[in-house]
Chains A and B, each alone.
Chain A
């Protein structure tokens, strides 16, 4: 694992061309309360372009913190994160983020919400509304242009948030348990919608989840975090899908290899829960 990040440990890392790597997390440690609590412990990883990576692990394993560090919403205590060669020094529109909490602005209609990001970045009214309409269609909300979030269901609010993030055409899509607040049937619908969108828009995606089934369905690569301190326990390519993405979840579940991977992840999760005193 380490070898893929630093092919030649003796060489100066700075000279390496990072502009083709969507995200490099380089020996990142995140501590809180001075140095009393280490949430992320010396984590290194590279993300590949157009890949969906899932961060999975028990609660308190540092998966969300790592995502927030990539988003620039927090800063690492040690190490460095680069996004296409640029050191991350704060949040920016090229790294779009979707949160577990509903973040569609309640004072804006569906269309205004989706156009918001474009508006604050100086895109003209007609252009941004046209783009926003397209994005609403992508999340199947074309009939809810004028609807306020208070009249929407949780799933619809979350779809507005997804459309709003995508409207800015981010290079990187970061999702922090995006469907965690939704009920099981809506969550499953949203997962399939997400696959459809990512397949169409060709995005590099990182999603944080504690749902093993969701991780396997969405991801091309699963990174399993371990708890206290937060380290990478395993880096698992999802090989049984053969690089394909399935618009229907049950189609993927019928593939040989699905159950094996799910079982393996369950076993790892059990080991995490029972293997440590916390």
Chain B
């Protein structure tokens, strides 16, 4: 249980930080697309008898980088590129499952998450990746923010925008696969997107928005894990419903005019 909470909090922080850059780049569904492509990787791992998250890391990082390259080279719009990636991951996964005659139980834990069953090694992996990614974000804070705000101006200021774009996609790929254990393949984009769109509604500066988003994310993850533990229901669904609750609550406050901007 405490392992679930520790890993859950780490994933909550990671997803809202990376998600904020994705949301502001109009890449909200990118997390979803990588998650779906990682489904192919998971199926591959299960079939080959390898720890499925390793193959998921490989497949989702490769597809994240490929889709960014294709999008740039062939000038395909972001949403279309995401749609292609999303369906091909699932398709590959289904075919592999079909070929190997189906493996029912394991695949479900990846589709819907299994944070209550997280092992010591997995917790260490989650914490290390969270630490590394957060350090990178802090070190390159200005470059990440500036190239998200306006690519052209960032380029003129000498920022290597293309490398930064690949870095964000790469970090998003790592984050998605790491988070699969918490909410599963199907609900990942909720962790990337909902706390951030909620925080943005408060109309604060960048750092305050990030802190708000992290707080909302931690609140829903911790409460979600506790509630699901007590009532024996699925944590993934509970966590996402709680963050949707915070989102609709914020919309309510905003529509009543209680959120004065600064």
Partners in one complex: no
